[in-house]
Structure 1
Amino acid sequence: MKKFFYLSALALGLMFTATACSDDDTTDVDAKNLDYTPENASSWGNYMRVVAQLLVNDATALYDDWAVKYNEGDSYANFFKNQDALTSVEQLIDGCVDIANEVGTAKIGDPYDLFIHNNEEKALYAVESWYSWHSREDYRNNIYSIRNAYYGTRTGAISESSLSKAVAAVNASLDTEVKKAIDDAAAAIWAIPSPFRNNINSEEAVSAMEACATLEEVLKGSLKSCIESIDKTVLSKVVANYVDVVVLPTYADLKAGNQALFNAVETFRTSPSNANFKACATAWLTAREPWETSEAFLFGPVADKGLDPNMDSWPLDQDGIVQILTSGNYSDLNWDGDYDEEDDKIAGAQALRGYHTLEYLIFKDGEARTVQ
């Protein structure tokens, strides 16, 4: 799972200062209120381009690992299909359990806990995707990633080769329970008044946390036990369908969406305008959806190679972003060697890139930024 850098979040809300060492002079910068201006326009556009290109690189690498070749062997898709079917389905379920827990306890729960303990500003900065006011959409799409994994489609329909059908054949009441838990969690998240950043301690947020906890318990308890009674020939079909109909198309859309996002960013960089800022915002939202609906399968290459935090670390190091804007040291966004989630240097680089850095540069208060 991604590493959430909440220590960074707790430091936000303060005035950050940065010493300029480029042509775009931005000294004594209030990072949380930073605007795009003629003085920082060049560095702003360049930073957007670098981050967008890294997103393209990561999404391409992730798709290629699954569809073409993983490390020096076969594709991860073929590896996943050919290993013991029960093991693969257990991974499928574990991925669903992890994201159900993360949405309830971290994405909604951590801001809530900070808020009720009178850390209101810190709670705000712990809310993921609050620059775009897109938190509820992200969280619901995370639940849809569970639905897609269980239903074996990306449309809400139920495939004949799905885990849902396999479970229903041996325990129809459990299948109904799982589907209800998925639906209830998605509905509870959507019932939180928008934007979530303004409703952190709402009754609806509490209900959403409870619904996610219920979903997690059903998945890791009854469902995990049930699959042991399902014939492995059936499970093999479930795994093949899951990979071909859910995972690979989701990562293909992620790759295409990130390329479209890069194209929009490059157009803005070369021709800054309010219309092109809005086009970047639209492209960001479109590229974001396949990522959020992939979070039930954050295993394999995406975890082993650090591609999840590369693309989706949260919270941001806003102070570090200002330093990059003023210095142009884009090499600070890169890291080398094998991925180690405990490596602070890698974590520091990841906190300066990805969707949320680009979100910070594109959005302000839920709207596309403007050219002044």
Structure 2
Amino acid sequence: MLITGNVPASIQQVISQLNSHFSLKDLGEVSLFLGVEVVKTTDNGLRLSQSNYIKDLLKRASITEAKGCPTPMVTNCELSKYTSDPISDPKLYRSVVGALQYTTITRPDINFAVNKVIQYMESPLDTHWRAVKRILRYLSGTLDYEIQLHISNGDISAFSDSDWAADVDDRRSTTGVHAYHGRNLISWCVKKQTVVERSSTEAEYRSLAQAASEVAWLTSLLNELRIKKRDAPVIWVDNLSAIALASNPVLHARTKHIELDMHFVRDKVLNNELELRHVPTKDQIADIFTKPLSHQSFVKLRERLGLVSLASLGLRGRVRSGCRNDQVKISLINQADDLIKSWVIKRDDLIKSWVIKRDDLIKPVIKRDDLIKRVEGDVLINQVLLFEKSGDVHTRGKASENSQQDISHEPTPHELSS
């Protein structure tokens, strides 16, 4: 059992009351709960991970020494019920996939891939097992990733997206929704839609209705906890047609089959309980929950979800608040980081200035070489012309000398007699 609150005396009072009725053992500050490792940070935040649970899962699947993968699923992956042969051990497949589903508690980056392989639990094939092993290889290469939670007084916001007709077997769409409280990711969902949609707008609107339902529940929960909200929750959608349907009071005939979803979202908008805003597709974070992405796009969206590697944080990921020595270490680390950043900036500036000066120095040399080539070309042409002229004069001179010899020479009597 976890008991949390912002008043230590009240927490202790609740524990005492429970202990008077039940036999309890107070384990102190939480560090491990149902396989989830909890680390308190210096800013009174939390970092949640399941590294030991994932290690045990890798041992169960016998791929502890496997090479890591940059993404949990390849971009052109299209799983189907009819593409390959059944696997020899379906029980192992179900066991591993069920454990992967529990891993998504702290690893939302694999939620889409896990949701995809869960759909084939009844009769798994070789292609499905290969997809599961890729997820495990991705986890083996990202064991140190944790989800961050910070103290926040922000409002609720959500992202909604869908992948229209993504399933190659029945052409149903995939819904991806996640919600933030301030900058903390607190809810995420990947779901295959129950009906086939005839347009991408309909698929996006069903995802929007799912997001609106999740936001309504979170708002109700915060009200029960007496956490006041300043503004209406915002849902970010990358489909302008879906936003137009939510704000248009005219119910079109072509949208009768999604009439309930339309009325649900529209009532929230008209009552100022919900605000819809457009987000460009390249900035749609919910894409990570609806389709396999390239490595660059996946890493970008994973960071925006709040997943951070401890290797990039160093000692700062493991220190606890209230320790003076640790605070000194943190300040020293921050100072070192600032020095490194300033040195890198100065180095880059020096390199840029040197490159500019080098280019300025090279330009006259290039111009000189061009001039030399031009001069050498002109000299060569002049020499050829002079050579041709001198050769012509020389041959003509020889011809004139021969003709003069022929004219001036007269035969002697002896030559005539001979």
Q: Point out the structure with max Rg over C-alpha.
A: 2
TM-score, normalising length: structure 1: 0.24
TM-score, L = length of structure 2? 0.22
Bigger relative CO (Cα 8 Å, ≥ 6 apart): 1
The structure in which a higher percent of residues are strand is 2
Q: Which has the higher helix share?
A: 1
